[in-house]
Amino acid sequence: MKLYEIVIQHRPEIAHAFLRGFVLGRNRDEHFFECAECNISTAHLKKHIADRLGLSGKFSNYVTEESLLEPLKEAVEEAKSILGIELHEVYEVTGLRFDFTVNVFNKRIGNQLKQILEQRDDTIQLQGYDPKEVVHEEAEGAELYAPEHDYELRGKGRAEGPFLPVLTFYEQLEEIDQVESGKMALLIAENS
C-alpha cells in the first residue's frame, strides 16, 4: 500500500475537519494520520519559508493512503472556492525514521525494553544501537538518585523502516519513560 504526505493550506482545525469528514463520508476502511498529532516532523523547504513569513499555522500535513489521494484532490478543488482550502503539496512516503536514547535503571523495565526491541517488525532496521547493560550487584537496593544503580541499560540509535511498523514501534517506545525518542521524520521518495 502506497502512502502520501499531503500538505493542506488552511487553518489546522478546518483542514482536519474537512479531511475527517471526507474520509467518514466515503464510508470505507481508509485512514489518514495527522503529522503533528503523531509527532512527525514536516520540514520541507516551503514549510521553512512559511515559518519565516509567519504563515506556518496555515499549513497542515497528513499521511494518507493512496486510495484517498485522487478523490481528495477532487474534493479539495470543489471546496476551494467555498472554504478557501487548497491541497498545496503531495509527496510519496517510503517510510519513517527516528532517533532514540535509552537510560534505564530498572531491570524489569530493561527486560521490557529488550523484549520490545527484539519483537519489533522485521522490516524495522536499528542503526547504531549498541546497548550497554551493566549489573552492579554490590549496589542492589540503591535509591533512584544514588551515585551507582544496581542495574543500567544505556544506548542510542536510529529506527528506520516502513511507515506503519515504525509508527507502532515508536508508540511502544514512548510508553517507557526511560526512552527518549526524537520526532519522527518521513522518508520521501526521490521522485516526489
DSSP per residue over 102-141, as a string?
EEE--HHHHHHHHHHHHTS-TTPEEES---EEEE-GGGTT
Looking at residue 5, what is its pLDDT?
A: 95
| CA distances, 116 to each of 18, 65, 97, 135 (Å) | 36, 27, 17, 20
Identify the structural domains of the chain with CATH numbers, from first to last.
3-94 (3.30.70), 96-188 (3.30.70)
Q: Give me the pLDDT at residue 135, please.
A: 83
Q: Give the end-to-end CA distance of the chain in Å, rounded to a whole number.
A: 17
Beta strands in 19-169 (DSSP E): 32-34, 40-41, 59-65, 86-104, 125-127, 132-135, 151-161
Residue-level pLDDT, tens digit, the chain, 192 residues? 899 999 999 988 999 999 999 999 988 989 999 999 999 998 665 554 555 555 555 888 999 999 999 999 999 999 999 999 999 899 999 999 999 999 999 999 999 999 999 999 999 999 999 999 988 765 555 455 555 667 899 999 999 999 999 999 999 999 999 999 999 999 999 876
Model pTM score: 0.84
Which set of grid coordinates corresponds to residue 87? Answer: 491541497
The cell for 158 is: 536510529
Which 3 state secondary structure label does DSSP give 1?
coil
The strand pairing partners of 135, in sequence order, are: 151
